[in-house]
Amino acid sequence: MLELDGTLLVQLVNFIVFLAILNVIFFKPVGAAIARRRAYVDGLKHDIEQLQTDAKSLRGQAEEHRAAARREADEAIGRARVEAGKEADAIVGAAQTRASEIVVQAHGEVARELTAARADEPRIVGVLADEMLARALGGLA
């Protein structure tokens, strides 16, 4: 059957020593490097997630600020329109008042001129009648 001799035992001890040396020289450093790399990658993932969360928060704040600015601008435009309307009404009222004053002055001036013309009417009628009579008689003579 199977005979066990000393070489098998030596080979077994040799293999165990080789595994121990490999563990100290290769497996532990590589495992530590892998663990450090994994920790570094996990840290980067966490940082990325945190930055994405911060970016979403900042976008929300920016949108809130934009909406507030829009509301303030709309309110300012509304107030400006109201003020412009009031100012336009005041200007139109002043212009209408001035126009009414000019019309009143014009009516007064026309009334004075009409009164003056009517007062001078008999003299003008007499001069015209004399002129027409002179022409009518002058053409016959």
pLDDT for 74-129, tens place per residue? 999 999 999 999 999 999 999 999 999 999 999 999 999 888 888 888 888 888 88
Give the C-alpha separation, 75 to 92, whole Å.
25
Give the C-alpha separation, 108 to 26, whole Å.
120
Alpha-carbon distances, residue 61 vs 47, 52, 65, 66 (angstroms): 21, 14, 6, 9
In eight-state DSSP terms, residue 23 is: I
Q: Tokens 């497996």 belong to which residue?
A: 27
Phi, psi of 140 (to 5 degrees): -90, -25
- This prediction has a pTM of 0.46
